[in-house]
Amino acid sequence: MKFKVAILPGDGIGPEVMDAAVAIMETLAQEYQVALEVSSHLVGGASIDEYDSPLIDDTLQACYDSDAVLLGSIGGPRWEGLPHDKKPERALLGLREALGLYSNLRPAKVYPAMVEASSLKPEFVRDTDLVVVRELTGGIYFGEPRGYDAQQGWNTLIYNREEVERIARVAFDLAGRRRGQVTSVDKANVLESSQFWREVVHEVQGDYPDVTLKDLYVDNATMQLVRQPSQFDVILTQNMFGDILSDAAAMVTGSLGMLPSASLGEHYALYEPVHGSAPDIAGQNMANPLAMIASVGMMFGTTCNLPQAEQILDKAIEITLADGFRTADIVAEQGEPVSTTEMRDRIAESLRRLMEEKRITASPA
């Protein structure tokens, strides 16, 4: 197998966590005989500094020419004074739009060793393993008309049938490979757009008889997510609700530094950590690389169609955490944090050990 990957390290801690993830990516590629053609490009603030634009045509073309895009992080206070359409974050929105990335998958898993790290009680978060499937290119963030004047501001929340059907199928397909449960989150008691959303989702569910469907209003879903997150398997929701719920789900796990994500379209895929650029710790070798590393795992599972590679990497992360290794954002009060590079090395060591055990098990007697 051969795959082209565009690397966009970005800003802040992005280059540091990307370096760690690329090292793990190369180890997995060698193990599963995947030939990777990798190119690296500036994006966000780094691209503004070099090219006076957060996303230049050459970088976008490199993404078009690749099978997958790995993105580190974007933005920082040094670029906050720029006009809205020139800020680093416009690169991310531009990538989503240009690549047609309409579905965002955000897993939120609480590893056994991390149960105590959550701000919720251990008995509430134990066994949490869910995925938020967020519609990414429609809804109130993109609806027209929009604007404001001195007296009022307005936005338009609109979804068409195609947009709802395709994101619903992503959720049902995913649930079919997991525990077979979809929770569709809307506000159908108030919004006509949500009533439409609910009707279309139920129509699509007819093609998935082995997947159960439950409807929740977004306010109740938020309470349930905090009360008992382990009850959820796949959460399906529209753009704005998904933006909020996925961050809430992230904090259930104890740290944004733990969580990967995938943004998928018909032809392209972008993988990135949920966390931001954390400029306050950039360059100090203390950032948590687990979210970026796990994003590489999602790439192997989805783009490369090697779920076994994603699973073995997830197991390596679990073992490393169980062995007590923590970066500063997740370290216990009495513990000593490890650096970004040491966490990378510990994950690599756990991964090599698991791969060796797999080879021994697979060898004929």
Q: Which residues are catalytic?
A: 141, 187, 219, 243, 247
Residue 204: CB partners within 8 Å, gap ≥ 6? 164, 165, 168, 169, 172
Map the chain to HEC letters: CEEEEEEEEECCCHHHHHHHHHHHHHHHHHHCCCEEEEEECCCCHHHHHHHCCCCCHHHHHHHHCCCEEEEEECCCHHHCCCCHHHCCHHHHHHHHHHHCCCEEEEEEECCHHHHHHCCCCHHHHCCCEEEEEEECCCHHHCCCCCEECCCCEECCCCCCHHHHHHHHHHHHHHHHCCCCEEEEEECCCCCHHHHHHHHHHHHHHCCCCCCEEEEEEHHHHHHHHHHCHHHCCEEEECHHHHHHHHHHHHHHCCCHHHCEEEEECCCCEEEEECCCCCCCCCCCCCCCCHHHHHHHHHHHHHCCCCHHHHHHHHHHHHHHHHCCCCCCCCCCCCCCCCCHHHHHHHHHHHHHHHHHHHHHHHCCC
Closest listed residue to residue 293, CA positions, set 19, 4, 99, 11: 19
Cα 68 to chain center, whole Å? 14
Neighbours of 325 (CB within 10 A): 22
Residue 310, both tokens: 């994603």
